[in-house]
Structure 1
Amino acid sequence: MTTSPNPKDPAPRAGNDPLSPAVLGPLTLRNRIIKCATFEAMTPDALVTDELIEFHREVAAGGAAMSTVAYCAIAPEGRTDRHQIWMRPEAVPGLQRLTSAIHAEGALAAAQLGHAGPVANAVSNRLPALGPGRIPAPMGMSLTAKVARDDIPGLVRKFATAARLAVDSGFDGLEIHCGHNYLLSAFMSPLLNHRRDEYGGSAVNRARFAREVLEAVRNEVGDEAAVWAKLNMFDGLGKPARGRGGRPWSCTNLDDAIKYAELFESDGFIDAIEPTAGSSLLNPMYLFHGEPPLESFAEAMAGPVKTGMKLGGRLFLKHYPYTDTYLLPLARELRRAVSLPLILLGGVTDHASMRTAMDEGFDFVAMGRALLREPDLPHLIEADPSTRSKCVHCNLCMPTIYSHTRCPIRTGEVPDPLTAAG
Structure 2
Amino acid sequence: MSAPQLDPFAPARLGPVTLRNRVIKAATSEGRSPDGLVTDDLIAFHRAFAEGGVGMTTVAYCCVSPEGASAPGQILMNAAALPGLRRLTDSVHAAGAAISAQLGHAGVVAPKKLTGVTAVAPSRFVNPTSFAYSREITRAEIATVIDQFGDAAQVAVEAGFDAVELHFGHLYLPSSFLSPLINRRKDSYGGDIDNRSRLVREIAHRVRDVVGDRIAVIAKLDMDDGLPGSIWIAEALRTVQLLDADATLDAIELTQGSSVFKPMYLFRGDVPVKEFAGVMPPAMRPAVRLVGKWAMGSYPYEDLYMLPAARQFVPAVANTKLILLGGITNRDHLETGMREGFDFMAMGRALLREPNLVNAMSADASVRSRCTHNNKCMVTVFGRTHCVLDPEQRYGPLASQQLG
Decide which moves more: 93-102 or 298-307.
298-307
Pair 1:93 & 2:93 matched: no
Say if 1:412 and 1:98 are closer, same or farther in 2 by CA, change over 3 A.
closer
- Say which of 361, 378, 383 aligns to 2:341: 361
CA distance in 1, matches of 2:64, 2:202: 15
CA distance in 1, matches of 2:127, 2:244: 31
**Aligned AA for 2:257?**
G
Tell me the equivalent position of 2:401: none
CA contact (8 A) 2:57 2:100 kept: yes
Aligned residues: 390
Pair 1:292 & 2:292 matched: no
**Aligned AA for 2:132?**
S
Deviation at 1:320, TM superposition (A): 1.3
Deviation at 1:316, TM superposition (A): 1.4
SS at match of 1:133: coil
SS at match of 2:376: coil
Tell me the equivalent position of 1:80: 70
CA distance in 2, matches of 1:187, 1:293: 30
CA distance in 1, matches of 2:5, 2:362: 16
CA contact (8 A) 2:269 2:301 kept: yes
CA distance in 1, matches of 2:100, 2:215: 9
Per-residue CA deviation, residues 293-321 of structure 1 (Å, 9 max, x unaligned), is: 11111212236654542231111122211
CA contact (8 A) 1:139 1:305 kept: no
CA distance in 1, matches of 2:107, 2:128: 11
SS at match of 1:252: coil
Pair 1:228 & 2:218 matched: yes
Give the TM-score of the pair, scaled to structure 1: 0.90
- Say which of 117, 124, 145 aligns to 2:135: 145
Pair 1:54 & 2:33 matched: no
Tell me the equivalent position of 1:338: 317
**Aligned AA for 2:275?**
S
CA contact (8 A) 2:314 2:322 kept: yes
Tell me the equivalent position of 2:100: 110
Tell me the equivalent position of 2:163: 173
Deviation at 1:114, TM superposition (A): 0.8
Summarize the alignment of residues 32-71 of structure 1 with structure 2, pairs less than 5 Å apart: 32-71=22-61
Summarize the alignment of residues 21-420 of structure 1 with structure 2, pairs less than 5 Å apart: 21-137=11-127, 141-238=131-228, 250-302=229-281, 306-339=285-318, 340-411=320-391
Deviation at 1:129, TM superposition (A): 1.3
CA distance in 1, matches of 2:103, 2:127: 20
SS at match of 1:17: coil
Tell me the equivalent position of 2:397: none
CA contact (8 A) 2:21 2:54 kept: yes
CA contact (8 A) 1:24 1:271 kept: yes
CA distance in 2, matches of 1:377, 1:194: 44
Decide which moves more: 379-388 or 75-84.
75-84
Say if 1:97 and 1:231 are closer, same or farther in 2 by CA, change over 3 A.
same
CA distance in 2, matches of 1:112, 1:30: 20
Deviation at 1:371, TM superposition (A): 0.5
Backbone CA RMSD of aligned residues: 1.6
Decide which moves more: 270-279 or 337-346.
337-346
CA contact (8 A) 2:129 2:295 kept: no
Decide which moves more: 82-91 or 257-266.
82-91
Deviation at 1:227, TM superposition (A): 0.3
**Aligned AA for 1:183?**
L
SS at match of 1:71: strand
CA distance in 1, matches of 2:130, 2:84: 29
CA distance in 2, matches of 1:225, 1:15: 29
CA distance in 2, matches of 1:75, 1:145: 17
Per-residue CA deviation, residues 219-265 of structure 1 (Å, 9 max, x unaligned), is: 00001110011010011124xxxxxxxxxxx1100011100000000
Say if 1:303 and 1:118 are closer, same or farther in 2 by CA, change over 3 A.
farther
SS at match of 2:313: helix
- Could you list the structure 1 runs, at least 4 aligned residues long, displaced by more than 3 angstroms after superposition: 137-141, 303-308
SS at match of 1:144: strand
CA distance in 2, matches of 1:227, 1:218: 7
CA contact (8 A) 1:283 1:318 kept: yes
Say if 1:304 and 1:185 are closer, same or farther in 2 by CA, change over 3 A.
farther
CA contact (8 A) 1:85 1:91 kept: yes
Decide which moves more: 362-371 or 315-324.
315-324
**Aligned AA for 2:113?**
V
**Aligned AA for 2:308?**
P
Decide which moves more: 117-126 or 135-144.
135-144
The runs of 5 or more residues in structure 1 that have no matched partner are 1-13, 239-249, 414-421
Give the TM-score of the pair, scaled to structure 2: 0.94
Say if 1:326 and 1:99 are closer, same or farther in 2 by CA, change over 3 A.
same
**Aligned AA for 2:73?**
H
